[in-house]
Chain A
């Protein structure tokens, strides 16, 4: 009987709607079906973010540059935080490029589902696409910031080490960490609005748990591996090792970070899948 259905409609998919409880696998095939939506959402995020703003994409430059200037004055000059021998401005900016990406992904990703509650309650698509599109759209800002970083390196006549070959790996870890934590927070935020309220504050605090304004060398050795559980530690120190050559490539920190990022990413996707069916009801 079933075979008859199949033979008459060879391409006709069968959709089953059932109550869902517990963990669910990621439906990669379905995600591929919605590939075009994913790219349009990325593009929409970028376009809308800078629509009707005077400096437009300039914001992608302004945010890390302004932070760099403030940090350089306060931490570099006034406090005198050491910077492993590199000029403090470059030292801070190298960290700010991945960190700004990470922070923006968290705040914007978390808000994405709540902000699009109207869409979620009117149409079905794999919900994962929504926060993932934010992760993708922020990549544009990241690339722009990387370009500024290149200009800065040239201005300070700093020659990157052969370690730059590791950068793609670091970027993958960074993206996975941002997506993983982002998915956890997004799924939680739609159920508990507390996450939204605490987000910008939390991200600010989180920055001090990563070597953004100070070098990881300040952390006592016995806490170092615990510290490296924050996947951004390995990423940021890796960026510094590759571009500034202030230290050897910290493979131990990167290894721990990569493990954590992968864990966050996987668990984040699974938790998101587990909770996505309630989004339309609680959003």
Chain B
């Protein structure tokens, strides 16, 4: 078909790792080695980018291996994967910053890539000058920037400081100005890396909003992020990479869920008896813990406002009674957010079988956007028999708690609270402005 925007064929990229040199055993050897060092270094530096003969030599790392996919015109595709999965390498090759070792890419249309906001910003230059500098580096023409200049400045909200050197800007102002420039690129193909990871929550929202506009305007967008919420919001399609290989490609929701599931299995280490942080006294043993989303699927990334559940599975070698399971949820700074235990609601547990699981359901997940850790322990007759401090990690990626797009600032809240508002207008006192009446609705 004619509407292929990007075609990637068997793309591979190798990097050469540093290999530790052997230590010399004698002084003579050391001296000889020292004299030969310049030649050895020269060869090593020369070899940094040649991989002709030794494909499988052990100092070569394949950051990407045989990646192939096609992107249609107007598609918005998210790339996910753990650190080192090859996402950034792929974007760097797509943006022509670095060459592939093998394979080929064909891109139709004007490409802009945004691997960082504010590339080329110079602290000595003023805001105005940096807009031009950054804009031209991103591939805009001067005339184009002239035309969009007012819009860019408006969007950034730093017009008062336009003629101040950027080194006197706060980091927030710098990022806003830089993003304003980037937001006014008009490419047919846009490549975006984790640029949304900078700035405060409010700014991230603004970026996401702008990204949504771009994605909705029929342009082709490739987007890398660790923010699963953003990927699901923005991208109908996602591609997952693992160790340089493409492992999944499909509708974003499914790919993200499969990806997160694959991560949960890796957290089994916490429940290993070898875990040094674990305190286990025998009798009953916790074997796994996970967070379930509203459909009952294990996940690490959830929304607040939706029903979630925490499930702990256990094994025991004898019948136990008067058991109490309790868990504490800590936020990213290690502050306890809440503590929940089976006896709070008068729920008493007895274990009769050899294995089982306990599930605690929160009908409306109250945790604010951010990362959390859950510590779990089990008491029997008031005595702790198992304790795992890092049993579960989960991320609240977004919120539907209030049913609006409003989110309270993160620094003021760790949980969301159900509430209702009412208003009374007392007309008998000072005459209110006529407009205020319409607020009652």
Q: Which A residues lie at the B interface, using CB under 8 A?
A: 1, 4-5, 8-9, 12-20, 34, 36-37, 39-40, 44, 47-48, 51-52, 118-125, 191-192, 277-278, 280-282
A210 to B1, CA, bound (A): 63
Residues of chain A within 8 A (CB-CB) of B137 are 37, 119, 123, 125
Given contacts A15-B107, A17-B105, contact A277 B138 (CB under 8 A): no
Q: Beyond the given A40-B136, A44-B133, A123-B95, please list 14 additional residue pairs across the A-B interface where CB-CB is below 8 A.
A: A1-B2, A5-B2, A12-B188, A13-B110, A15-B108, A16-B106, A17-B99, A120-B97, A121-B92, A123-B119, A123-B137, A125-B139, A280-B97, A281-B48
Given contacts A37-B137, A123-B138, A125-B139, contact A19 B101 (CB under 8 A): yes
**Nearest B residue to A11, CB-CB:** B110
In the complex, are the beta carbons of B108 and A14 less than 8 A apart?
A: yes
In the complex, are the beta carbons of B98 and A37 less than 8 A apart?
A: no
A277 to B13, CA, bound (A): 13
In the complex, are the beta carbons of B97 and A47 less than 8 A apart?
A: no
In the complex, are the beta carbons of A48 and B101 less than 8 A apart?
A: no
**Nearest A residue to B142, CB-CB:** A36
Task: Report the minimal beta-carbon distance from B172 to chain A, rounded to whole angstroms.
Answer: 20
Given contacts A18-B100, A37-B137, contact A48 B124 (CB under 8 A): yes
Number of B residues whose C-beta is below 8 Å from A?
A: 48
In the complex, are the beta carbons of A119 and B119 less than 8 A apart?
A: yes
Q: Which B residues lie at the A interface, using CB under 8 A?
A: 2-3, 15, 42, 45-46, 48-49, 92-111, 113, 115-116, 119-120, 122, 124-125, 129, 132-133, 136-142, 165, 188
In the complex, are the beta carbons of A280 and B92 less than 8 A apart?
A: yes
The residue among A12, A17, A125 with the most chain B CB atoms within 10 A of its own CB is A17
Residues of chain B within 8 A (CB-CB) of A9 are 108-109, 188
Residues of chain B within 8 A (CB-CB) of A12 are 108-110, 188
In the complex, are the beta carbons of B105 and A16 less than 8 A apart?
A: yes
Contact partner of A124 (CB less than 8 A), chosen from B101, B113, B120, B122, is B113
**Nearest B residue to A121, CB-CB:** B97
In the complex, are the beta carbons of B100 and A17 less than 8 A apart?
A: yes
In the complex, are the beta carbons of B132 and A40 less than 8 A apart?
A: yes
**Nearest A residue to B93, CB-CB:** A17
Given contacts A18-B100, A36-B136, A122-B115, contact A44 B125 (CB under 8 A): yes
The residue among B45, B116, B137 with the most chain A CB atoms within 10 A of its own CB is B137
A244 to B267, CA, bound (A): 82
In the complex, are the beta carbons of B107 and A281 less than 8 A apart?
A: no
In the complex, are the beta carbons of B98 and A280 less than 8 A apart?
A: yes
**Nearest B residue to A8, CB-CB:** B2
Residues of chain B within 8 A (CB-CB) of A48 are 122, 124-125
Task: Report the minimal beta-carbon distance from B65 to chain A, rounded to whole angstroms.
Answer: 15
Task: Report the minimal beta-carbon distance from A52 to chain B, rounded to whole angstroms.
Answer: 7
A119 to B122, CA, bound (A): 11
A123 to B182, CA, bound (A): 12
Residues of chain B within 8 A (CB-CB) of A281 are 15, 48-49, 98
Task: Report the minimal beta-carbon distance from A113 to chain B, rounded to whole angstroms.
Answer: 14
**Nearest B residue to A40, CB-CB:** B136
**Nearest A residue to B41, CB-CB:** A192
In the complex, are the beta carbons of B97 and A5 less than 8 A apart?
A: no
Residues of chain A within 8 A (CB-CB) of B122 are 44, 48
In the complex, are the beta carbons of B124 and A51 less than 8 A apart?
A: yes
Residues of chain B within 8 A (CB-CB) of A122 are 97, 115-116, 119
Residues of chain A within 8 A (CB-CB) of B138 are 123
A278 to B98, CA, bound (A): 7
- 14 A-B contact pairs sorted by A residue (CB < 8 Å): A4-B2, A8-B3, A17-B100, A18-B100, A18-B105, A19-B103, A36-B142, A44-B122, A47-B125, A118-B119, A121-B92, A280-B98, A281-B48, A281-B49
